[in-house]
Structure 1
């Protein structure tokens, strides 16, 4: 009898999972991690980094799922992304782990690899009619949101005592500039050419606004996801437009037959298009992810993508979201989210409220205008809110919090196009006013 009970207990334990990982395998990973860390022999390579990122990300995600209230506001994403940043700041993570993950994230461009797979996977398997109808509308909504966000953010900043100059150029514009590398950095370079402040100092002053804007957008995405659960008529659960004749099985929760060969073919297509984008970037300085996005969207709209690749896109999308997203978020938190920059802005209440007003104005504008234009408000607002995020890393966190990773192509439009418009206009306007 005791032997039977023991066997049943072992079976129950074996069925427990951390994320998608069976508990016995996860405990093996934990044991090996401690042995390597205590022995100071943690390998500083891809396998070492992926092991660390997998170990921490899925347990942090489980913690985030079970925190009351926070779990309804994108809690698992907040915990997986921002808690590691705090742990690094407090030096509570082993130095070898920090170095291994940071080196991997900095030297291997893993974020762009993820975005390439996700964009190609989601677009290839996306409803062609939806893509055609939604693209023009999402661009119109984005333009309206940029205008409203700038006016509301600057207005609120002025009401709270900030000069209009500071409110727009140093708070609002950085939020909508498309992240750090392609937003805050070119803004700081452009500003430094017109004002008597060095570029590094300008960059340091606007970076906290970008970080906090992204955090608020993540929370808004979590609220929108909850709203979609409460009012199903407001959401397409990963779709922008309702199409009855064609749909994505993997976005509706149905089981998808996985064809490894088709998935690999789609993955090779993603890599090839990204490398093509790198070549184009070297010629006309257009970012590689934009080239990839335009190429695969164009091919899909023209009906040039074969059925095999479309089916492979389903599998590639599912693999990327379930297997890569949590570890990548942890890597972003460790290597790309400086906690010190994030908390700097918390000491300045008018700035906090200005950032909050800007992001909320963008989200509400997207929600309202999408309803008028016949798009699902929840999904559209989540996608467009990525324009106020931390670039690619922000879009990843925002979509993960909203459980809408299939919207990455539209999020990239919001980030890249919205950011380019904001950077160009802000530098042009400063040039006129100085």
Structure 2
């Protein structure tokens, strides 16, 4: 009897552990498989290739994502995203993650372009999964809060900077502008190049001056999106749960009227092939006209959807690929971003309370602009505010983090436009102003 009771207790514990999932995997099996990867990490034997990089980011991502989702309070404010980005960044800062693992993650994220796979799958899947009317209405209406937010987010924080002793011009050019430039690669780097040529300052020095503003604005935009999203949870009338434009009497803005189709390996394969074709097309055209490939992919996908060129089976493939990647790889991707792009050292070096006040002011102005103007543009306030916050995102990485935190991944096409187009306009305008007025 005693042995039977012990066996039942052990079975009960095992069953309870199996009910806990880390990512999509039961806890005991996750722990068993993770041991192999952890040993490889700290013996510095992780292969510096795509699979080695996946081993590092999936292990950390699924674990930190689970922890962030169960911590009371934090789980209401994007805990999964925040922990998945910050913890790896601190591991890198304090030398707790071996160089071998960092090299593997760098290879996956930068050389193998896993970030592009994630972002472009969300872009194509979101666009092709939308109703064509909401697509056109959304792009048309988002331009007003984007431009109004850009102007206000430049002027108000710059005035605040003047009042707290940073100076109007220094605040405007060196803190506000990089916050709105659209990230590091497509924003801060070309902005720093223009500034350095005009001012005669070393390019590397200028990058170091501008980059922290982009990193901090991205972080506060993530926090802002979490706060706005929680407001939508408390007041459902303010949110469309991922739909930007409110439904009119004569319009149906639901994603689709069709019944959800069963998941199919062949359908996901179709979506992958479409993604590859559209991505390569975007890069080809980029070399001809100079627009970023991301913008070209957005416009191409929009035209395919608007003119209903693709059969339903191909559109379904894009949607299923989008779902597969976002469900399994969002938290791991955050880990990769934290390891490669979130340089906490440079942030801490330049951090003052005045600097923080200005960056927070940029984010608050953007969020409030979208929220307030939504009333006059027939948009849901929560979605409009979250979309506006993407103007201070750190490129595609920031878009992913902001939308994942607020669970509004369907806004990815609009978010990319807000970041890419808004950033390009900001850079061009501010470099021109610096040339004109010195």
Give the shorter-chain TM-score range. over 0.9
- The answer to whether structure 1 residue 275 and structure 2 residue 275 are counterparts is no
Residue in structure 2 matching 1:379, options 383, 392, 395? 383
- Structure 1 equivalent of residue 143 of structure 2: 139
- Structure 1 equivalent of residue 342 of structure 2: 337
Once residues 330 and 38 of structure 1 are traced to their aligned partners in structure 2, the CA distance between those partners, rounded to angstroms, is 17
8 Å contact from structure 1 (residues 345, 352) kept in 2: no
- Structure 2 equivalent of residue 248 of structure 1: 255
- Structure 1 equivalent of residue 318 of structure 2: 313
Q: How does 1:17-416 map to 2 (within 5 A)?
A: 17-243=21-247, 245=252, 247-248=254-255, 257-346=262-351, 348-416=352-420
Query: How far did 1:9 drift?
Result: 3.1
Question: Which stretch of the first structure deviates more once superposed, 291-300 or 24-33?
Answer: 24-33
Once residues 204 and 37 of structure 1 are traced to their aligned partners in structure 2, the CA distance between those partners, rounded to angstroms, is 30
Residue in structure 2 matching 1:432, options 408, 428, 436? 436
Question: Which stretch of the first structure deviates more once superposed, 154-163 or 31-40?
Answer: 31-40
Q: What is the RMSD computed on CA atoms of the aligned residues?
A: 1.8
- Structure 2 equivalent of residue 10 of structure 1: 14
Question: Which stretch of the first structure deviates more once superposed, 17-26 or 81-90?
Answer: 17-26
Partner-residue secondary structure (3-state), 1:194:
helix
Q: 1:359-403 deviations in whole A, cap 9, x for unaligned?
A: 110110011111220101111211221110111111111111111
Query: How far did 1:212 drift?
Result: 0.5
Query: How far did 1:305 drift?
Result: 2.8
Question: Which stretch of the first structure deviates more once superposed, 5-14 or 365-374?
Answer: 5-14
Partner-residue secondary structure (3-state), 1:355:
helix
Query: How far did 1:194 drift?
Result: 1.3
Segments of 5+ residues of structure 1 without an aligned counterpart are: none
Once residues 35 and 234 of structure 2 are traced to their aligned partners in structure 1, the CA distance between those partners, rounded to angstroms, is 42
Partner-residue secondary structure (3-state), 1:43:
coil
8 Å contact from structure 1 (residues 281, 288) kept in 2: yes
Q: 1:10-31 deviations in whole A, cap 9, x for unaligned?
A: 2332222112221232112212
User: Judging changes above 3 Å, is the alpha-carbon distance between structure 1 residues 68 and 8 closer, same or farther for their aligned structure 2 residues?
Assistant: closer
8 Å contact from structure 2 (residues 225, 386) kept in 1: yes
8 Å contact from structure 2 (residues 131, 256) kept in 1: no
Tell me the TM-score normalized by structure 1: 0.95
8 Å contact from structure 1 (residues 29, 51) kept in 2: no
Partner-residue secondary structure (3-state), 2:123:
helix
Query: How far did 1:246 drift?
Result: 5.3
Question: Which stretch of the first structure deviates more once superposed, 165-174 or 98-107?
Answer: 98-107
Question: Which stretch of the first structure deviates more once superposed, 12-21 or 275-284?
Answer: 12-21
**How many aligned positions are there?**
430
Q: 1:185-236 deviations in whole A, cap 9, x for unaligned?
A: 1111111121131121111101011111101100000001100100101111
Once residues 362 and 45 of structure 2 are traced to their aligned partners in structure 1, the CA distance between those partners, rounded to angstroms, is 47
Query: How far did 1:176 drift?
Result: 0.4
Q: 1:274-311 deviations in whole A, cap 9, x for unaligned?
A: 10111112222221111111100111122223211232
Partner-residue secondary structure (3-state), 1:93:
coil
Partner-residue secondary structure (3-state), 2:198:
coil
List, as ranges, runs of 4+ consecutive aligned residues in structure 1 with deviation greater than 4 Å. Answer: none
User: Judging changes above 3 Å, is the alpha-carbon distance between structure 1 residues 39 and 218 closer, same or farther for their aligned structure 2 residues?
Assistant: closer
Partner-residue secondary structure (3-state), 2:159:
helix
Once residues 161 and 10 of structure 1 are traced to their aligned partners in structure 2, the CA distance between those partners, rounded to angstroms, is 61
Q: 1:90-109 deviations in whole A, cap 9, x for unaligned?
A: 01123322221122222111
8 Å contact from structure 2 (residues 129, 256) kept in 1: no
